[in-house]
Amino acid sequence: MAELSYRDAVAAGLAQEMERDDTVYMIGEDIAAAGGVFKATPGLLERFGPRRVRDTPISEEAITGAAMGAAMTGLRPVAELMFSDFIATCWDIIANQIAKTRYMTDGQITLPLVIRTANGAGSRFGAQHSQSLENWAMAVPGLKVVAPSTPADVKGLLAASIRDDDPVMFFEHKSLYATKGDVPDGEHVEELGVAKVRREGSDATIVALAAMVPRALDAAERLAADGIDCTVIDVRSLVPLDTQTILGSVRSTSRLYTVEENPRLCGWGAEIASIVAEELFYDLDGPIVRITTPHVPLPAADALEDATLPTVERIYQTIKNSD
């Protein structure tokens, strides 16, 4: 094991797969000599050279279009979009072309590509650079959607995403880049579509994603001191979604809370709530509760941004005061 930061785990996962497979290459803005605007790709240019670590002009359409073409000809591109908000500028290519080509060619053309992007709030970047948009990607058939919460999962899930023959949207949370954790040495590959139980409990199930996972764990520890024992599930992958782990936990605890950084309307937790309500309605001891960001643009002011996002205190109070 080695202790790595979340951002260093990105570089480690990329290096592992580029070393293993010479069809893997990177394309994006400032990812080469600059090492990425969030410093998640340092050293890769020196190690793999400019043919495989390619800087681009400021054009998300060009980046995603080039990645799509490369994947169609047998390469495994990893395209970086600097902020997840910028997927809006190339959404036609992602949602109408990349997501649908394998289906529309009856499997004759596969698109083994990964779109990495910095997602989420907490950095005071304002409404156009702070959104959590994994629910956008989740709504498009043909895309796989991954959002890790720990350095180990960054490396392992990124490796799995690169090896996958379908296009994967890989959301790295900006506020987690500096966090550290143990990462397995050597080759490390996780499985897509498998949630991870971060804490076992008997009284309630909390389902969280990315930066909301450590907040949910902190709230669970506070609740335990009050005699409320919670399971915390890290979804990790929205598509494919590990419904069995979630349903198994809720069947045991009979209560479900989701913690989502998405705006409340059409967040991923609504889909999970729907699945649980359909499958386990008579096992529930209370209503499913979603703890979310309000349906508002994210403010840039620090106090306002903090008040908008789900906090440890709000998670704690919501669960403690539930009937």
Of 197, 190, 292, give the one whose Cα is nearest residue 247.
Answer: 197
Distances (CA, A) of 27 to 48, 54, 61, 69, 172: 13, 5, 12, 12, 16
Burial of 81 (0-12, 13-18, 19+ CB in 10 A): buried
DSSP annotation of 245 reads H
Of 260, 270, 271, give the one whose Cα is nearest residue 210.
Answer: 260
- CB atoms inside a 10 Å sphere around CB 93: 20
Q: Annotated active-site positions, please? A: 129
Domains of the chain, start order: 2-183 (3.40.50.970), 196-320 (3.40.50.920)
Whether the per-residue pLDDT at 323 is higher than 90: the answer is: no
To the nearest 10°, the Cα dihedral for 56, 59, 62, 68? 90
Count CA within 13 A, CB hemisphere, residue 207.
31
Q: Per-residue pLDDT tens for 35-46?
A: 999 999 999 999
**Per-residue confidence at 1, pLDDT binned at 50, 70, 90?**
confident
Average pLDDT, the chain: 97
Q: What is the pLDDT of residue 140?
A: 98
List, in order, residues 6 or more apart from 81 with CB less than 8 Å away: 28, 60, 63, 64, 87, 90, 115, 116, 117
Q: Per-residue pLDDT tens for 214-254?
A: 999 999 999 999 999 999 999 999 999 999 999 999 999 99
pTM score: 0.97
DSSP annotation of 297 reads P
Residues written for the chain: 323
